[in-house]
Amino acid sequence: MLRRVLRPTLGRSLLIRGLSSRSGNSILDWDGNVSEIKKKIRSLIPGEPSNFLYDTKHLPPEHSDVVIVGGGVIGLSVAFWLKTLEKRRGAIRVLVVERDQTYSKASTGLSVGGIRQQFSLPQNVQLSLFAIDFLRNINEHLAVADAPPVDLQFNPSGYLLLASEEGAAVLESNVRMQRQEGAKICLMSPAQLQKKFPWINVEGVALASYGMENEGWFDPWSLLQGLRRKVQSMGVFFCQGEVTRFVTSSSRMRTSVGEEVNLKRIHEVHVKMDNSLEYQPVKCAIVINAAGAWSGQVAELAGVGKGPPGTLQGTKLPVEPRKRFVYLWHCPQGPGLETPLITDTNGVYFRREGLGKNYVGGRSPTEEEEPDPANLEVDHDFFQNKVWPHLAQRVPAFESLKVRSAWAGYYDYNTFDQNGVVGPHPLVVNMYFATGFSGHGLQHAVGVGRAVAEILLNGHFQTIDLTPFLFSRFYLEEKVLEQNII
């Protein structure tokens, strides 16, 4: 019965849309800050206090309208759009909590930086088109006074997807939809493919799709730093720490069909400070779960999935860390400057890196091959056995390549349908999700950030309708499967 109730309400939260973290009063007008804490400490200590001992600037504020868990590119994008769309400057107090502000293990910085419209779902095509327009005009959005412009080093070389006889019909259908959404994608026969890219061996290729505009790759680090610099200039607070607890309240609600559900509301976030046993409680109105590969764990802290199996309360956020390897190799006889990002029929991909005959690439493992995500160690045998043979078969020049370096990063992998989770949780009514993109979060971050800000501030999606990406689909068992995962 609850499934029938959920469907017509997927686009809105079950409770209020307002921002308030104190009963009876909006905290949008709250004007306290950490400096007041410093003053109180100094008033209790005779003489001149030690700046080191009593400095509290590393602590988050005691109150924040919105707490964003995760300071990667998606979390920063949510912060940017909340501040951009607020009704008056300073109306919304936003705190971003990131446990590693060096971003040494963050998915953003370890990405190969691709952007494409060649997806199997219209929503993902729309997100990519929104993103490319944003990126092409990056300094209209992220300019900061007296700071150098953001240089994304965008390379518009396109994507080239290869399909076997078995996958040709799906590829053709996908391209038809992509064109309807406004993407400039062309289909190529094996003969056309070999004429344009004579260094490709077309054996086993029945059809190919090629992005003629608005596809390629860019520097993820530049986008991350540009967003971070911009939101800081807009008044967003940052804190290095880890969210370890949510303080919640519960209430029972009876649905229109007579079923009782337990609603939760988060009132306080506990942030454990970096390299310390201390934590800082932060009262808040809204929590955004943008914790990437670790967002499933953050959701569990709020009680998501802690209920009887088969119920909405017992439905988990199906996002977990999956380790992916990226290899960089050199090949003096390799493809030239016109090389796009190529995805082979078996999932092996590569692109050019710079101008010195260097290339990066890899392949997503099968379920049986999934590596242990406990660390980011690289499996070099995976390249030798699972990647290189396919590279050399498709591009004969790669027979003589030499690997120069490699790294590993995490996908925030949605095990249900490999697609994003965007919007509010139906029972933890003030937790919103922006996670689970399974490898395409970087390129969709700016569109997802706007979507989260819109549904939070207005109660519904406006720019792009991401209703199919709501959490409720996991309980309803309605997959929104993205087939083009690289």
pLDDT recorded at residue 43: 46
Helix (H, G, I), strand (E, B) or coil at 406: strand
Give the lowest-confidence range in 11-20, 159-168, 258-267, 351-360: 11-20
Options 3.30.9.10, 3.90.1300.10, 3.40.50.11810, 3.60.60.10; which CATH number does 323-410 get?
Answer: 3.30.9.10
Give the lowest-confidence range in 38-47, 172-181, 273-282: 38-47
Residue 123's DSSP bridge partners are none
pLDDT recorded at residue 37: 45
Kindly tell me if the per-residue pLDDT of 49 is higher than 70: no
Q: What mean pLDDT is reported for the chain?
A: 89
Kindly tell me if the per-residue pLDDT of 27 is higher than 60: no
**pLDDT class of 122 with cuts at 50, 70, 90:** very high
Q: What angle do CA 272, 273, 276 make, to 5 degrees?
A: 100
> Locate tokens 């091959």: which residue?
369
- Locate all alpha helices (DSSP H) within 276-404, ordered by sequence: 295-301, 380-382, 388-394
Kindly tell me if the per-residue pLDDT of 41 is higher than 50: no
**Distance (Å, whole) CA 374 – CA 378:** 12
How confident is the model over 90-109, as pLDDT tens digits?
Answer: 999 999 999 988 888 888 77
Mean pLDDT of all residues in 238-263? 88
Q: Where does CATH 3.50.50.60 sit in the chain? A: 57-154+215-318+415-485
Report how far Cα 383 is from the mean position of its chain's Cα atoms: 26
Mean pLDDT of all residues in 39-45? 47
Superfamily for domain range 57-154+215-318+415-485: FAD/NAD(P)-binding domain (3.50.50.60)
> Three-class SS string for 197-217?
CCCCCCCCCCEEEEECCCCEE
**Distance (Å, whole) CA 291 – CA 289:** 6
Q: Quote the pTM value.
A: 0.88
Going from the C-alpha of 172 to that of each of 7, 341, 433, 479, the distances in angstroms are 32, 19, 33, 22
Regarding predicted confidence, which is higher, 316 or 51?
316
**Of 17, 80, 175, residue with least CA distance to 446:** 80
Q: Where does CATH 3.30.9.10 sit in the chain? A: 323-410
Kindly tell me if the per-residue pLDDT of 9 is higher than 80: no
